[in-house]
Amino acid sequence: MPHFDLFFKTEDLRQRLEPHLRLIPPYFQFTVRTGTPDVRFFDQKDPMWKGFPFPVPKGTVYVFDDAIPARALGGGMHMRASVRVTREDRDDEAIVLRIWHEILHAIGQPADDMARRAGEWQSVSERVMWAAWQSLSRPLDVPFWHRKFYVWLTERAESGAGGR
């Protein structure tokens, strides 16, 4: 089971988000901390990743706020992930889904492939609902679907199916 030291930059972030971590299946194990891990910054010439702090130690997740002037909302790879919480973020569960998304990346699961792999993870009834949402032009990139896809990806990881 993958284990992460999960750092919340501030006590506020921790108190707000830690109660929602149970959304993430127990396959992922966390040691929750307050503070900032050792971080590095990606290519400062890339506007998307400019100023985005990323953990150095393996098995580390960093959740930070807009006091850090980053642009990307999250990144994850090689057993490391960072997630930004913006001032506009009101839905705490959606933020925890963002953490789940990035740690799936961190363990090599294709977390961006929800639509492309719809045929693999959806039940028959979900397929019907998905098609109905599409025909109504309802956005599909929403917590309702993210959660189902991430459950499937987590079970996939648990069963030993590798990343990309």
Q: Which residues bind Zn ion (CB under 5 A)?
A: 111-112
Q: Which is nearer to Zn ion, 91 or 112 (CB)?
A: 112
Q: Which is nearer to Zn ion, 14 or 62 (CB)?
A: 62
User: Cβ of residue 102: shortest distance to Zn ion, in angstroms?
Assistant: 7
User: Cβ of residue 77: shortest distance to Zn ion, in angstroms?
Assistant: 10
User: Cβ of residue 35: shortest distance to Zn ion, in angstroms?
Assistant: 25
On whether the CB atoms of residues 96 and 23 are closer than 8 A, the answer is: yes
> Quick one: which of 90, 95, 36 has its CA closest to 61?
36
Q: Which is nearer to Zn ion, 11 or 112 (CB)?
A: 112
On whether the CB atoms of residues 85 and 101 are closer than 8 A, the answer is: no
> Quick one: which of 54, 25, 61 has its CA closest to 159?
25
For Zn ion, the nearest residue by Cβ is 112
> Quick one: which of 77, 24, 72, 28 has its CA closest to 52?
72
